[in-house]
Every structure is written in structure tokens, then in C-alpha cells.
Copies of this chain bind each other. A is one copy, B any other.
Amino acid sequence: MNKQDIKIGVIGLGYVGLPVLSLFSQKYDCWGIDNDVLRVEALKSGTDTRKCQSNEELSQALRLSYITSDWSDLGQCNVYIIAVPTPVDKENLPDITHLEEVCKAVGNILSRNNIVIFESTVYPGTTDEICIPILEKTSGLVVNKDFSVAYSPERINVGDKIHQLDNVPKIVSASNQQALELVADLYGSVINAEVVRASNIKVAEAAKMYENVQRDVLIALANQYSDYCREEGIDIQEVTDCAATKWNFSNVRPGLVGGHCIGVDAYYLLKRSTQKKVDLPLVITARSINENKALQVSNRITAYAQSIRIDTKKIKILILGFSYKANTPDIRNTMIATIVKSLYGTFEIVDCFDPLVDNYEVELRYGIHMLNPDQLQLDKYDIIVKAVNHDVFDNFIGALPIMVDLNVFL
């Protein structure tokens, strides 16, 4: 496949797919598709409610590529990059239905010599054992004979302005050597960082799992050590600052683990490791610590409130920030939802405000009513908890005497 012949279809235009489309469209003919018709219409009009990238990047991507929700528009593509969500269900079991559906849709339009690249995070074996069979069955083609498959795990860090798609090393793996070289060259042509070739797809899948599971374990340890430091009467932040001056200490802070990655991927791994009959008690324990952190925080908020006024039923509290981390509107698996819900009933008023999130989406997904900017009356509260450290709060609200940083409850 010659470089000038490459026509890329990016499937899924969310936190991963949109930056991918934006980057590749600078050098290649690109199509972007998302099944969410409303999102596609919004993107086309230049509005990205998820703020996956800057307005300039979005308008550039719109100028250089074709965005659609109609699969028949992708007929010319010969390279597909799949970046659909791989969440967990209510029982914390992997839900790969998006991935399976997209494999069917791509299989339907797949032609000879095409390459299908997966970027979604999955447990090792998913690409070989689930995705490839669906592609083969739907297309009637045979992998490595008629088409190739690659896996290149996304490392998008939502809200991170330093580590971007184009400056972070990219792991690539493929079903055959020729495809590996092609995919490595493809990514190498748009990113300014190392392209790391894994010897097979499972290695690349396992590397991504390891990255996120290690982080989950490190945050869980920080959360536990924070509990310990609290009993010693010392500050976990200062202790961590000191320890972080050692060359091999991982500078991880206590925190709420939400979002689409760290808190989710461990469940993917655990499903697979259970099938493989390998016990991973550290991973299970870490999950349980991080899952329980939100309730621990809300108990500490209540205790703090009681130290101000015994009868918490007369206390009005405002939670500032709702997304799962700073400077993103992403509300997937946000632990603030758990905190807010568990505070209902304890206080006279529990309000929540986040100028970045889509209030309607919060209501729909969590049943939590968010304040609109015109409803915000900061002077009516007894306690304001700054739960998420959005930059906008600095200008919008500033420092208030009754404001407490959520960090003190971690």
C-alpha cells in the first residue's frame, strides 16, 4: 500500500478517535464516523461538548476530513482505526458490545488488502479471539491472507496538556510482519515520539492493561498510606513530596479513581485472569480500596461538617466540580456522583456545580441535578468543597474562606 493511496476511516469520534482523526487528517485522506448522530451533527457545526481538543484542532480536522454517521460513506477506506469505548457494565464486567458491533460494521465493508487497527483498551486475547473472528465471518475474508489486523493501544490522557497523542511513544503490533511495518510507518509519519513494535498483538494488549492496572494499584497504595498518615498526624502530601525525591519512587497521590481507563481496565484484566486461573489479589484489593474511597471521603466530609455544626441538617454544602478529573467534561464513572448521593439526606442542602460538564447528561446518567451558572449563590453555603481542580474555578470563583479542598478528605 503506497502512502498516497492510504485512505483512513476512524471509527468512534470520542476522547480517542477525534484526536486520532485530527492528527491523521493532516497527512492522509480521512473519514470519521460515529454512530451517535447528534454528536456527529454537533461536531460538524464545530461544537465538541467533550472538549477532546482545541477549537483550532477541531476546525482543522473538519476542514481536512469528512465526518459522518453513515457507514456507506466509508467505502473508499483501506485502513480502519477503531477507537470505540470499552466500558464495564453494572456488575463491573467488560462490555465489549460497541467493539463487536463495530467489527461487524467494518466486516461488512472490508475489502482485500485492508488493515483494521484497534486502539480500544481490551484484555489480552480480545483482538485475536473476538475481533478477528467477527471480521472474518462478516467479510468472508481471511486474516493475513486477505486483510490484516493491528493493535495500537491509545494512551490519551484526558485533560493533560503535556502528554499528547503526537509526543508520547506509540506501541504497535499486528497480525503479520508486513502489516506491522506498515502500521509502524503510518503512526511514525504523524507522531514525534518512538514507535514501539511489540512482537504480537497480545503483548501490546497486555502492556496497556499493565500500565493502567499498575496505576490503579499505586493510587490504592497512596490511598491506604494516606489513611495511615492520618492516624500518625502527618500529611501524606508532604510525605509523598519527600519520597518523590528518590530516583525510583513513583510520584502518585491519593485520589478518586474514576473515568474510562484506570478504574475500568482492572475489571477487564480480572475477567481474563480468572478464565486463565491466575489469582491477582493485589489487583482485586486495589480495586476495592479505590471503589470504597468515595464513601470514605463523604464520611470525612460529614465529620468535618459536624466539627463546624453538630446538627448537619442545618448545613448547606456546595460541591464544586463533577467530572472524574480536572479540566475535562468527562463524567464517566466519576466518584463525585457517589459522594454527592451519599451526602443527600445528611445536609439541609447539597448542591453541585461544574461549568464544564453537560448538566443534562449528569441528570440523565446519575439522576443528580446540577446548578446552572445563574443559580449559583456562593454566599448561601456553610461549606464549599472543591472536589475537582478545574482551572476555570481559579478565575470564576477564586479562593473563599469556607472553601475546602477535597484533598484533605482523601
Tell me whether A203 and B235 are in contact (CB under 8 A): yes
Q: From known contacts A124-B234, A231-B276, A249-B214, infer whether A203 and B242 are also in contact, taking CB-CB under 8 Å.
A: yes
Closest chain-B Cβ to A252's Cβ sits at a distance in Å of 8
A176–B248 Cα distance when bound, in Å, is: 30
- A256-294 interface mask toward B, CB cutoff 8 Å, 1 = contact, 0 = none? 000000000000010001001111111101100100000
Residues of chain A touching chain B, judged by Cβ–Cβ distance below 8 Å, are 124-125, 155, 163, 168-169, 171, 194, 196, 198-200, 202-204, 206-208, 210-211, 213-215, 217-218, 220-221, 224-225, 227-229, 231-235, 238-243, 245-250, 269, 273, 276-283, 285-286, 289
Number of copies: 2
Tell me whether B242 and A207 are in contact (CB under 8 A): yes
Other-chain contact of A210, B202, B211, B239, B269 (Cβ < 8 Å): B239
Tell me whether A246 and B168 are in contact (CB under 8 A): yes
Tell me whether A281 and B277 are in contact (CB under 8 A): no
Tell me whether A206 and B282 are in contact (CB under 8 A): no
A14–B235 Cα distance when bound, in Å, is: 32
Closest chain-B Cβ to A160's Cβ sits at a distance in Å of 9
A245 neighbours in B (Cβ, 8 Å): 169, 171, 194, 196
Q: From known contacts A199-B238, A289-B282, infer whether A243 and B221 are also in contact, taking CB-CB under 8 Å.
A: no
Q: From known contacts A206-B229, A238-B199, infer whether A246 and B282 are also in contact, taking CB-CB under 8 Å.
A: no
Chain B residue with the shortest CB-CB distance to A284: B285
A202–B214 Cα distance when bound, in Å, is: 28
Tell me whether B276 and A285 are in contact (CB under 8 A): no
A163–B217 Cα distance when bound, in Å, is: 26
Tell me whether B211 and A249 are in contact (CB under 8 A): yes
A241–B211 Cα distance when bound, in Å, is: 11
A278–B233 Cα distance when bound, in Å, is: 13
Q: Which of A168, A276, A282 has the most CB of B within 10 A?
A: A282
Can you list 12 pairs linking A and B with CB atoms under 8 Å apart? A124-B234, A155-B246, A210-B225, A213-B221, A221-B282, A221-B283, A224-B280, A227-B278, A228-B278, A232-B276, A281-B285, A285-B285
Closest chain-B Cβ to A176's Cβ sits at a distance in Å of 17
Other-chain contact of A242, B171, B232, B233, B279 (Cβ < 8 Å): B171
Tell me whether B171 and A211 are in contact (CB under 8 A): no
Other-chain contact of A234, B196, B200, B213, B215 (Cβ < 8 Å): B200
Chain B residue with the shortest CB-CB distance to A289: B282
